[in-house]
Structure 1
Amino acid sequence: MALFKDLSAKLTLPTRDTALPGRETPLPTAETHFVNGRPLKGPYPEGTETVLLGLGCFWGAERLFWQLPGVWVTAVGYAGGITPNPTYEEVCSGRTGHTEVVLVAYDPADDGFGRLLKAFWESHDPTQGNRQGNDIGTQYRSAIYVSNDAQLTAALASRADYENALARAGFPAVTTEIGGPQPLYFAEDYHQQYLAKNPNGYCGLGGTGVTCAVPASVV
């Protein structure tokens, strides 16, 4: 019975009354990217745009994005929930409402956001709700938190197109949450660029095998 209660808590988003209180002070974290040495929290070059992408465990997801052309820097953290400045353990409890996300700072030229969306959709299963494979809980839910209206339009268009492609392949409806700007609470130092520091570490990425064609509205 206790195991069932624990699982139920992980699969149910908390309310403001049931969420953990968190703290006012941000958690200590790395200042620079372990791979490219750039500042995680900026300043970013003029013209750079940012987006928060959640597609399961953020270790493998971050590595995916820092390798893409046009990406200036990446960092991992928690977003979309209630608890301010949560710890990893608090997020894992299911009582913060946050999902694990990757902050991607990128050059929007040459359809940079379209490349991010294609990688996002193809690298996880966006129909699984509060899980990715064996990783279960609200912290693994699929999410896109944009920073401007153009990104929002593009993200919504790509979700509709990819949902149609998934449906043709027999998959259920997409559960990805798409919303506006969210506070990002940077994760602890050891999570930043985790798979660069631990090359044999766990990577939970796994797509559906369905190709995402970036819609014309993104280009």
Structure 2
Amino acid sequence: MSGTEWEWSRGDRAKAAAKLMVGWVALLWLLEVVDVVSGHALDSLGIIPREPSELIDIVPAAFIHFGFAHVAANSVPLLVFGFLAALGGIRRFVLMCALIIVADGLGVWLIAPAHTNTAGASGLIFGLFGFLLVGGFVERRPLGIVVSLLLGAVWGTSILFGLAPTQSGVSWQAHLIGLAAGVGAAFVFRRRVVGRGVLQA
């Protein structure tokens, strides 16, 4: 593959990743507008633990938020982490997000405190952070390792704070499970290098 073809391929991946994440975040804001206009009817799509009927909400809960401040707090990290993770391929990214969302939702359903309602994209955000944090080391890619170290330096303190069980109204369980799911996803979806080519898992 020539240098020009590689640059075009890399540029196309970046454009696709950017469009996907801008659209994803825009959807979250749109859903919150609908929620407000409907008198917060969408809040019922959050996860109430250990209620069998709530299992159908483990995916929708990742797209629902409790107010515009909640959406705003999740928008920037979702854009950044999602864009970086999606550079490895949109198909792999979608499958990885599905794994993180389902694992996180099931974990919240199992261990969250009784009579709580958990929703928001932060479980996915912590999962994407976990994936990016270890992905470079798992795949032994120098650039990926640099990204991992930079993310750890810039976002590490905020992530650790989000895992603290002392924050009122914040689901540290969703954060912790999401982070663990993201680390697991780095192994499940790791890319294997064969000769000079790269095969995506």
Q: State the TM-score, normalized to the length of structure 1.
A: 0.29
Q: Which has the larger radius of gyration?
A: 2
Q: State the TM-score, normalized to the length of structure 2.
A: 0.31
By relative contact order (CA 8 Å, sep 6+), the higher-ranking structure is 1
Greater percentage in helix: 2
